[in-house]
Amino acid sequence: MKMLINSPETVVADALSGLAAAHPDLDVDVERRVVVRRDARESGRVGLVSGGGSGHEPLHAGFVGYGMLSAACPGEVFTSPVPEQMLRAASAVDAGQGVLFVVKNYTGDVLNFQMAAELAEEDGVRVESVLVNDDVAVTDSTYTAGRRGTGATLFVEKIAGAAAEAGAPLEQVAEIARRVNECSRSFGVALSACSTPASGGPTFDLPDGEMELGVGIHGEPGRERRAMMPSREIAEVAVGAVFEELRELPPADGPVLALVNGMGATPLLELYGFHAEVARLLEARGVPVARALVGNYVTSLDMAGCSVTLCRADEEMLRLWDAPVQTAALRWGR
């Protein structure tokens, strides 16, 4: 596989150096692997910290900035960051109002963020943690006990970040973050495997003409493999799987936030076409789409495919979603 890198050993450090050069409003510690919003402590507000393995960009470092995350901790490719990174991030953004950890449900992330929270509390930093586990495809999978955390991570970070930006206390920021997760469901589809820099080749075998339904963001197995289908049929499977659980959430006739997320190698031409199918299916079910986002936000290196995330949104969530945000990867209203 051809990759635009210097070496597998330096790929994360090189990417962080590039992030620092492109976005001088961020404080990027390349050696210690922490990305911090420069004015995080000056705000006097609750700090938001998230992180995970690299390879999912722009998640999470691309979402550090006004109205979203205060800091992010990138690990090695598909590998959890370590508690020291998380502790350093919490200390860097704590302005006396406490820190919220946003944690995707992968075993390494969960254990390391838990340890970091305990260490931060010992240092006098109040910490709340929110677990994101929105994936409906499988209950247990590689790296995971329980459901995987995927596209809803973006919804949680944006909406909780807006609440923190507005000056909400830690308990309230944590409550809205948990509510967003509880109201969100996701389903992913892979058309090809991803390739890690270390392996230089596909991380799993997906024969030509086949697709994986319910794939995880590291290429973990999903529900089943099928022969390749047209976009409309793929959308029917994905929306059907999500809506099967979403319809249980009140209000039954409420609007949704919709995310059609690319896995890294699928062009916008295809993603917008896929979103048209998603919108058609939701309209047929009588589900209004209040806001839609289409693009590559929670990726899996160079995997071809996409995921669908729907969040049953109330008025408060929509107001916080619409609030200004200015990060490397997401910005509006400012």
Provide the residue count of the chain.
334
Token pair for residue 141?
């999978």
| Cα gap 81→107, rounded to integer Å | 12
Report yes or no: 155 and 257 within 8 Å, Cβ to Cβ: yes
> DSSP assignment of 260-277, as one string?
EEE-BS--HHHHHHHHHH
Active site (annotated) includes residue 60: no
| Cα gap 322→319, rounded to integer Å | 5
Active-site residue, selected from the candidate residues 23, 60, 218, 275: 218
Cα–Cα nearest to 285, from 259, 260, 261, 312: 312
Active site (annotated) includes residue 56: yes
Token pair for residue 235?
């959308």
| Cα gap 211→234, rounded to integer Å | 10
| Cα gap 28→134, rounded to integer Å | 29
Cα–Cα nearest to 76, from 154, 10, 157, 26: 10
Around 123, how many Cα atoms within 13 Å sit in the side-chain half-sphere? Answer: 19
- Helix or strand run (H / E) with residue 292: strand 289-295
Residue type, 328: A
Report yes or no: 88 and 47 within 8 Å, Cβ to Cβ: no
Active-site residue, selected from the candidate residues 23, 56, 60, 275: 56
Cα-flanking dihedrals φ and ψ of residue 187, to 5°? -150, 130
Token pair for residue 71?
């800091």
Residue type, 241: A
What is the distance in angstroms between the CA of the first residue and the CA of the last residue of the chain?
40
Q: So which residues are the catalytic ones?
A: 56, 218
